[in-house]
Amino acid sequence: MTAIGPQRRPRRLRASAPLRRLVRETRPSAAALVLPIFVHESVTQTQPIESMPGVSHHTLDSLASLVDEAAAAGIGGVMLFAIPSQRDATGSAAADPDGILNRAIARAVAAADGRLVVMADLCLDEFTDHGHCGVLDERGGVDNDATLEAYGEMALAQARAGAHVLGLSGMMDGQVAHVRAVLDVAGYMDTSLLAYAAKYASAFYGPFRDAVQSDLQGDRKTYQMDPANGREGLLEAEIDEAEGADIVMVKPALPYLDVVAEVAAASRVPVAAYHVSGEYSQIEAAAQRGWLDRRAAHLEALTSMIRAGSDIVVTYAALDLAAWLSEN
């Protein structure tokens, strides 16, 4: 008598490319992608960033061209970071209407022409000479409440420049509530807030700090989260949502997909994940050495972030991913 095989054969639905495509559970799209862009006040032409293959410092003119390219590719948004020519202890250039970030916002909004969302990083680390995300007190620690005042001024400058979404990345307690109140009083009720709700003190930020030419003194462990803590990430997201965040984000992404999933399950607002510089550069470096398939690795990483519950993915590979998703 011939033995009867298993009744359930999940492999049936893997038998052909059309079948796999038909039953696919997770379907990333270009519209969910956000491309980070670095604008450098002191460069006169695009300059590659060595630790981030394929990523460059941009001028205001090349920024406009890149935003146009991103819009044409169907990408959902861009996130602007800026490197000023001068820094000081309080990061005063961040709130200067003529500062490089605020000029970049205006240029990007004009180039986007309503085709994508222009987001701006709202943090002082790129503008302070000590590299911290806030104003320091007399003991050299970051003064949470004094920093909130600086964030409020920075938020107004970015809103006036035309930013659609402000990315609050400093991890100060109460930052969402404070910035929301400042914007609303000034009449910018329609300016949205993306809260870096669960931002971990991660080893994966190294290439980013190279990109923004950070002179960080010490570390950020007193305000960014301990990588060992998962429940705290959910708590931070709940607080930010209650304070008025329109979007909450987990950063980095891949080492914290458990946190992404927990936040997505509980959140009533969209959830973003940031595929950070170190995660991106790992793939790029390995691909350059022939150790893995660059396209397959980036697509797999993106799929994992969406599968975990991310509605939005911030990634330096956004342009390539948009092209690959279109081909697929």
Nearest to 224 by CA among 275, 299, 179, 171: 171
What is the structure's pLDDT at 2? Answer: 67
What is the structure's pLDDT at 214? Answer: 84
Q: How far apart are CA 214 and CA 206, in angstroms?
A: 10
Which residue's structure tokens are 């394929």?
Answer: 54
- Sorted by sequence, the CB contacts under 8 Å of residue 240 that are 6+ apart come out as 176, 195, 197, 248
Interior CA angle at 120 toward 118 and 126, to 5°?
150
Instruction: Using alpha carbons, list the distances in angstroms from residue 108 to 104, 153, 162, 163.
Output: 6, 21, 9, 9
What is the structure's pLDDT at 209? Answer: 87
Dump pLDDT digits (tens) for 198-209. Answer: 999 999 998 988
**Percent of the chain, pLDDT > 70?**
99
Instruction: For the chain, state the CA radius of gyration.
Output: 21
Tokens representing 42 are 């002191």
Name the pLDDT band for 7 (thresholds 50, 70, 90).
Answer: confident
Of 134-138, 264-268, 277-281, the poorest mean pLDDT is in 134-138
> Which residues are catalytically annotated?
199, 251
Q: How far apart are CA 319 and CA 312, in angstroms?
A: 15
DSSP 8-state code for residue 322: H
Mean pLDDT of the chain: 95
What is the structure's pLDDT at 216? Answer: 82
Strand 312-315 with 117-122, pairing: unpaired
Amino acid code (one letter) for 204: F
The model's pTM: 0.95
Superfamily of 28-246 according to CATH: Aldolase class I (3.20.20.70)
Which residue's structure tokens are 């991103």?
Answer: 70
Residue ranges per structural domain of the chain: 28-246
Instruction: Give me the sign of the Cα torsion angle 190, 107, 89, 220.
Output: positive
What is the structure's pLDDT at 312? Answer: 98
Mean pLDDT calculated for residue range 144-153 = 97
Q: Is the pLDDT of residue 51 over 90?
A: yes
What is the structure's pLDDT at 271? Answer: 98
Q: Is the pLDDT of residue 1 over 70?
A: no
